[in-house]
Structure 1
């Protein structure tokens, strides 16, 4: 059932005149554009002799197989078979499986399940809005989706993995409230320390009050908001594409409001974000390597693991078609950061 959701297959600009292969749930697919420029997604094998269609080419909006030249429409139908006599009717059974595919927010999204849970993917917040600046990051993690989401929505790890870059070890008490939602859960932090942090020394004013929320949106999206009383606002949204059960492509959209000099802030904010994400890539790779060494996970939960239980329960509920956590639940947590 996790397959019935929209996942990013590639940046829209990556899909031009040539077909683009991609993987979802350890299965191979191929993207190409029809003659009107609309994207289509097919299973990456020809119906004739199973050659990879991604090794072929786009011929006027039809995907041509490199083996015998069969050409396919975006709906999966074979519409041209060179070996057949001219004007021969082509059977409707000569087709490959096609999947729902849309272009939105500069990305090509695909659903490889039987039926999408929604008509279209959710939009990234404030993307293209006046007064907001945006940049996009694409990162390959050697970790499953759940591990990536836990990492992105976990405050305590930043004290160690991103020490002095994003957070410094102050051991100050912090209150948090976790609320279950219709589509996941959100955690809100109070009296969060910001001293000795390169990120916040550059991106926030010392006297500005901070409102910080971490949100899990089932099944594979995280959203982090930092809202300051001086109207500065930073949103980090990460959409996780499950390449396999141990590898995830993460498409991160960082949108922020800083005023007229947002373009200037981006000059150092973007490379700094890439470095911080690299630190996460490194620790998650080490984590997965150790899980592989032992052959299984052995996780323990403590109260400061605010959103991890919701990530696990929601994804398990979707996979098994059982009820997810009910909305409206709320609990308070004390932690140190």
Structure 2
């Protein structure tokens, strides 16, 4: 049946987000409806609300959610009512060249489900019956959401859902950049530029991978202190350094892996500059489409340096989400500590303001 739900909606770019009551239609074939328990407040949601990520409004925000299945559509066999799930904004057809070679984050057909479900339609409408787009085929900053089965991952019922939700983006993006994209080796020297929600997870990924040195770089002293709690061995306050890359090199002699978690062409250049010979810079942050990065071309062959991108930690959601949660359950990854404040959905505007101020490691909207 159709469910009435409070949801966080972007009505227009660069306008305040709104909490509205919407209608969520029941699942069709190969779809499930979930009752959300928690949704992380991510910078990507803010980027969608400002137009930096150009998903056309009106748009139901939210892509980092967890909840319980309350209805299943025709043909669904992998899920049943009561299952705990995490949303995944990666839509994968399973048939294109990228999917069959194990790179679902690069699915050649994923563009069909950026603001709708994979069939090109939505299950969300406002109080006047007008269709509402959904962020990344999810739109889970709402009390209920209907998703395609490929955009949901079943998880262990024993994992607290406010922690599990973060695996859908921040944790997967940071930890996955270390495990999957860079494949950091034990004894490596690493640097993380930008230690917000994603950067903190890159830090703990490096720690879990056995890195010898983990240098956190940021302009916020409070974030740098938090970085130490997640495994950073050294910190560099970029606001106090004329050249943060030189400061990193002074500490380490040059790092084997540098992770840019800001979304800035200038910071990408700093990360690249901090590398030792043979080092790899991994670009994790989402920059403005017009932003550029300038590096010394000669250093690419002469020093055999590499620069590469990482989208959602090069994830294979059905495999990687449970794997990350298993590490959490074994005490090898911190998730409880990432949730620094929870909000009701009515307080979502405040959660976005706090995110812009950099107050939280991760703010999470909790649903009744």
TM-score, structure 2 as length reference: 0.30
Tell me: higher relative CO, structure 1 or 2? Use CA pairs within 8 A at least 6 residues apart. Answer: 1
Higher share of residues assigned strand: 1
